Amino acid sequence: MGYSKVIGITLYSVAVLQSAAIGNFIETPAIGSVRYGGKHRCNAIGVASDVAIVPAGCIRQSDPIQSYSALLPSTPDRSTTIHPVIDSQRRCQVKRFLPHPSHHFLSNNIGLIQVGCGNRGVSGEPNFAVRDVTGHERLTLVGLAPASSRRQLVTPVHVQDCAVCLEEYGAFDCMRQLCLQLVGKYRSKLNNLDGLAGAGVLALDGSIVGLLSYGFANSSLVAERVKFYELFVREMVSSLREL
């Protein structure tokens, strides 16, 4: 999952689900596409109408030309699907980027971007839920399919013991990261992870569980555990919206 200079970002629209866990409506987060030279580089998770979580290594503070547009919504489920997405051509400027203060390479690989849509503006309060996992749950990975900017991947993933990723990746951190395994029919077809970083790891109720950080074909995937970073995310969302 290599990164290079970013010049564009595209975000999908959102779907709304009923969450029994919190007793009210929450938004299934928009999953976006960060682009370089018109090509998909990584994903992003929308947490407000104008703010998204991204892998910190995928964005550069100084990039002057970044944009935003809406695509099809995603709904977490237990099946594996790969289908086209439709670009609505709504484009906005990436105004600000806030990386985690302890980000270094693949450590604390998380940050936030704020986008603005010119005269159209942005609206809506943050309305997202974050939760942790404690066992070997099945979750849903949602993002643009690797090496493609026009196909959306929705596939189940299984939470593994952290010992698996500790053996595969020496820098793995059990407190702040999730060790995931692809399941379903897409697992046997995976041979290229380029562009899959930043995909959302979601619960069935739309809660955000993880932000995909890195991994290798035929090996485990590593996601940043968003619950670990929840205070950082919510404080940064609030600070961005006050500017």
pLDDT grade, residue 26 (50/70/90)?
A: very low
* Percent of the chain residues topping a pLDDT of 90: 30
Q: In this predicted model, what pLDDT tens digit does every residue of 182-218 receive, in sequence order?
A: 887 666 566 667 788 999 999 988 899 999 999 877 7
Lowest-confidence region among 11-20, 57-66, 102-111? 11-20
The two beta strands, 200-202 and 81-84, are: unpaired
Question: What gap in Å lies between CA 6 and CA 40, rounded to an integer?
Answer: 9
pLDDT grade, residue 51 (50/70/90)?
A: confident
Lowest-confidence region among 7-21, 131-145, 171-185? 7-21
Question: What gap in Å lies between CA 157 and CA 1, rounded to an integer?
Answer: 18
The CA-atom distances, in angstroms, between 48 and each of 8, 53, 237 are 19, 10, 8
Domains and CATH numbers, the chain: 31-61+80-126+230-242 (2.40.10.10), 137-227 (2.40.10.10)
**For residue 229, is pLDDT > 90?**
yes
**For residue 172, is pLDDT > 90?**
yes
First and final C-alpha spacing in the chain: 33
**For residue 177, is pLDDT > 90?**
yes
pLDDT grade, residue 146 (50/70/90)?
A: low
**For residue 88, is pLDDT > 60?**
no
The confidence score (pLDDT) of residue 33 equals 77
pTM of the model: 0.81
Q: Indicate the SS3 state at residue 217.
A: coil
**For residue 72, is pLDDT > 70?**
no
Closest by CA to 91, choosing from 110, 77, 70, 112, is 70
Q: What angle do CA 63, 68, 69 make, to 5 degrees?
A: 155
